[in-house]
Amino acid sequence: MRAHEVSAGHTQVYTLERLTGEGQLSKQDEVQLRYSEAMDEFLVVAEGSRWTVRGSDGPGQALQLMVARGLPHLAWVASLQDRQLTVQVHTFPLGYQLPEPRVIGVDEVIIDRMRQFAGTRLQEQDVVDLLTRDLTLPVLPGGTIRFLYAGAPNRHPEREKALRLIGKRWNLDVVEHDGVWLASRITEQKGKRSQRLPVTLLEAPWTFQSVTVAARDREWLRNQNLSQALDNQSYLHLWEQYQNIERERSLRRARELGALLYARRPEYRAGIWRFHVQATPEQFGLLRQGGNLTLQVAAERPAHLQEGQEPVTGTTRGRIQEFLAEFVRADEAAGILDLRPLDREESEPPPAGYVAVSLLGDRMQFERRDRARQAIVMADTPMPQLAALLEGLEVPQRRLQRQPALTRSSQADAAFRGTPTTRQIEALDIALNTPDIALIQGPPGTGKTRVIAALQQRLAELSPDPGKLAGQTLLTSAQHAAVENAASATVVFGLPAVKVGRNRRVREEFSDAVEHWRQRTVTQLRAQLADQNTLPLEVRYARLRDAVLSVTTAPSSRDRINAIIREILEVGGEHLKPGTRDGLRELLDNHEVSAAPVEQDLDFMRAAVRGLRTEEASFLDDGTIAARRVLRRLDGALLPPESAALLAQAASWDHPSAPPFLPQLAELKQTLLAQLQPQLASRGPLQVGGEVETALNLALGDLRAEARKQAGGPETVLHDLLDALENDPHGTREAVKNYTVVLAATCQQSASQAVREIRTSLGSQTRVFENVIIDEAARVHPLDLLIPMAQAERRIVLVGDHRQLPHLLEPDVEREFQQSVEGAQQEALHQSLFERLFKILQEREQRDGIRRVITLDQQYRMHPVLGTFVSDTFYAAHNAREAFGNGRPAEDFVHDLPDYQQAVAAWLDVPHALGAERGRQSKCRPVEAREVAREAHRILNARPDLSVGVISFYAEQVREIYRQMEGLGLTQRGEENELTIHADYRETYGPDGRPQERLRVGTVDAFQGMEFDVVLLSATRSNVLPATTPAQQRRRYGHLTLENRLCVAMSRQQRLLIVVGDAGMLCAPGEDSAVPALDRFYTLCKGPHGRIFSH
């Protein structure tokens, strides 16, 4: 702050006459005023200037009195004119000089508030610098830093416990506690300053310094983290060990397969590249067992396949261009390997080379994990206390300014589509006010996606400048589908989240959140504008302009051109000048809208056709040349396929005798000549001539002039928006990307180059997000979860449910890891980071009183009977605090399906006597699959408006169900002979009129986060194995013993859950059950809300 920017103090203006002096004075320069009694003159002193001045009698005496009394003051040059100098003086009742230095701490509350004022992500030092510039006055020669402060009158500032520093733009409240001074509150100067307390001028060597957790405790946290990292029992060290094994296995797997040589150019057909490779039976076997292996095709043998050679580090592909693909099928006898390219824009594979396992994806995955983990251990993340939180250690606390969960003006409650529950509001409160991490457990159907949507809106509303919020929040999850699901529910300030990155293994481009938003907005705008009787002239002009442009820049039919002229006459009416109107009518009356075909000269075309040779002698002379000339000059414009084929045959004739098709060639010659007559040729595509184009442009000029005279109202703006949304999807996406508050990406891709480029384009020079929200967090691999967490500065919000599907581990890596660790670490490996924090943060609440964890307690997805069953079986059985109620009445879930009456739970018994399970690793049971297919077919045809999900715990059973459904018309063969849902059963419409998936068949992993009206669960297991010991129970029941998988499978339905399986596998009453959830469900089916069907 400079002196001329001060508005405090008693202000007086003095006009002085310059007498003598040296140096240059400028307007707004701060000056010091001194009075010499001996010389009876004033001195005006500034940096590099010293002037003797004299005042007139009245002002001069007042100025002399003020200076003589030594009143604290500031003075600056208000104006300069010839020898005249005007000085404005601000006097203060008190002034103090303090010699002792003092540091005023600036913590997270002030940092956050300053960022809100600035509308951008200021660095901590930037905030300190801003405060220094705004709240301090420049040092005068021989002096020190000066402040203006408001405090109690007649009290020395050293005895103050609280004071307010006054700046140009801000007021900063400062408080002292236990000898430490801290900035407690900052407010903006608004309008004319009105201070209740007197303003005092203070000279003191005070400075501002960041005292955030990051600035204050980073070094201490780093030392603590490093000490913990050396402990082999630490959580982060555990996962470091796991990844080391995973990395070694990745390289070992690539070397086991080796490089498959191919010498013939690969063949491409229907999206598949076919390679003829030299491979052993063992190599073919490894390919079939490899699952989702990513393969690379290169001209050179990859160097990392040699022992002793490590993979190239870094995320670039190196010098050898890789063609990436996935395995489709192999024919060992023929040496054929079929691969599907992962990137459809990738260049084709080299004509000869090698096929090998690509380490590119693994390498990028490992490097992103390593960077995040190392940054967390070294406390180099924006939230340096992360490692301590993950390990359950004590962490320093940051001071926070509490924010309300919802306000009257907030739009966040719209995300709930109704009144939010008490727990949902509490979840918002916890997420907004956590000092670091918030964790929201969302049991099935409790509205966690809506909480996420509302939270993102509230976070954006906390900023005073919504125009500067682009990209402040990262929305992420493990899988693309989960990210897309959360992003599609996100609308902040009217704009959707922008998803970055895609799954290269998905062949069909799915419609993402921006596209959903665009289509939805188009539909809403059309409905809003449908009631208008007439369009604004400006809109009609724009549409005619586009129509004229389409016929003046590309060939068009005569009818199309004439139609546009008629439309201009109809729309223009009295807006067209008389001469313009007459010219257009004359064009229509005289049929002058004509021209030669584009890029086709009729004379040349007719000459070429006349030159066709249809006699034996002439054809043998140059008949092939003449035929090629016709093909080239007509260029397909008037040639049907059969005529083009005949000419091509003539053009390629290479025999000593004349061809037998000369009569047909002669007939074609006459036909073409008839078609090329001027009156007929003009019926083809025409290029608008100069006279017509001139007339059209004159008409547009008249309409544009009239449109500008009419004020464009809201309707015009809406029509322009509708036009942009309908006709420019790419431009729409780019505009949304530049303004959206929320970026969405998978955990891995949140650290990708694509995300960094978008952040840079939005003005951010760092990888830091203010907020990181992670959906389905319990399913995210802990090492992948660290990637987005390491990018969060203000808050991390984990949303998920550890009672549902956990993160996936590589079975081979898991077995190898378990051989080297103890039981406690083996158990920790299977515990999701979400579940770990769920326990740690609740324990921490007992110590620091900060609530970070909440469980949503009202489900809206299922019939109340089914909701209570899921709550009691999978949640309350573990912790009464996790139980949830039902938010909708039973009447909302009526299905009226034949045979089921009002049942919501059913068991379709398929006894062991009808057929047992098959398979070793992945099980299937054909007889059960057949019953599942039949029942699904019956339900889908009885109620076409209902959606049906078919779930199994085994991939082989899913494939068997697909096969059984094919005969019923529920599935069909695709281009690559794969089975997919039949087009007639892919989509239906929900009660709200929105399209929804009608039939889905898959393993339980593909169903988390989804819901269907009816779910058929195929139990699959049917055997007579003993089940006395826990090990025997696992062998007999397999995946059915995994409670979290059962929880997901039995909570996807809305109206009806049907289990299809062998009821003989269930335990008799009184016996200890290996599958208690299924036993309880069977009991439910016996009651008034259930049905049991037996074969």
Q: Domain residue spans in the chain?
A: 3-91, 95-211, 249-368, 397-524+728-855, 537-595+687-711, 602-681, 864-1094
pLDDT value, residue 30? 87
Lowest mean pLDDT among 190-204, 448-462, 1005-1019: 190-204
Q: At what angle do helices 926-942 and 955-966 cross, to 10 degrees?
A: 60
The average pLDDT across 399-413 equals 87
Q: Are 397-524+728-855 and 864-1094 the same fold in CATH?
A: yes
Decide: 104 and 396 in contact? Cβ < 8 Å.
no
- Selecting from 3.90.1150.10, 3.40.50.2300, 3.40.50.300, 3.40.50.720, what CATH number does the domain 864-1094 have? 3.40.50.300
Decide: 453 and 490 in contact? Cβ < 8 Å.
yes
pLDDT value, residue 507? 46
Cα separations (Å) of 835 from 42, 828, 839, 842?
77, 10, 6, 11
397-524+728-855 has which CATH code? 3.40.50.300
Give, for 853, the enclosing helix (H) or strand (E).
strand 853-855
Render pLDDT for 700-716 as a digit per residue (tens, 0 to 9): 888 778 777 666 667 77
pLDDT value, residue 768? 84
pLDDT value, residue 681? 42
Q: Is the pLDDT of residue 318 over 60?
A: no
End-to-end CA distance of the chain: 88
Residues with Cβ within 8 Å of residue 388, at least 6 apart in sequence: 221, 224, 225, 394, 395
> What CATH architecture does domain 537-595+687-711 belong to?
Orthogonal Bundle (1.10)
Closest Cα partner for 352 from 421, 281, 262, 278? 262
Q: Dihedral, CA atoms, 46, 51, 52, 56, nearest 10 degrees? A: -80
Q: Is 88 or 310 the better-scoring residue by pLDDT?
A: 88
Task: Give the whole-angstrom CA distance, residue 38 versus residue 240.
Answer: 82
pLDDT value, residue 678? 58
pLDDT value, residue 158? 66
The average pLDDT across 370-376 equals 92
How deeply is 633 buried, as exposed, middle or buried, from its count of CB atoms within 10 A (0-12, 13-18, 19+)? Answer: middle
pLDDT value, residue 846? 92
Closest Cα partner for 485 from 455, 513, 515, 460? 513
pLDDT value, residue 434? 95
Task: Give the whole-angstrom CA distance, residue 194 versus residue 152.
Answer: 15
Q: Is the pLDDT of residue 677 over 80?
A: no
Closest Cα partner for 699 from 821, 580, 849? 580
pLDDT value, residue 598? 43
Residue 1050, phi then psi, degrees to nearest 5:
-100, 15
Render pLDDT for 536-551 as a digit per residue (tens, 0 to 9): 777 777 777 777 777 7
The SS3 call for residue 861 is coil
Class of domain 3-91: alpha beta
> How confident is residue 134, by pLDDT bands cut at 50, 70 and 90?
very high
Task: Give the whole-angstrom CA distance, residue 74 versus residue 76.
Answer: 7
Please, what sign has the CA dihedral across residues 1016, 1020, 1024, 1026?
Answer: negative
> What CATH architecture does domain 249-368 belong to?
Beta Barrel (2.40)
Contacts from 562-568 at CB under 8 Å and sequence distance 24+?
562/588, 562/593, 564/696, 565/593, 565/696, 568/544, 568/696, 568/699, 568/700, 568/703
Task: Give the whole-angstrom CA distance, residue 821 versus residue 291.
Answer: 28
Lowest mean pLDDT among 215-219, 564-568, 833-837, 992-996: 215-219
The SS3 call for residue 52 is strand
Task: Give the whole-angstrom CA distance, residue 566 versus residue 561.
Answer: 9
Amino acid identity of 748? Answer: Q
pLDDT value, residue 212? 80
Could you give the angle at the alpha carbon of 144 between the alpha carbons of 138 and 147, nearest 5°? 60
Backbone torsion region of residue 522, taken as left when φ is above 0, otherwise alpha when ψ lies between -120 and 50, otherwise beta: alpha
Residue 77 corresponds to which tokens in the numbers above?
């040059």
Render pLDDT for 886-912 as a digit per residue (tens, 0 to 9): 999 999 999 999 999 899 999 999 999
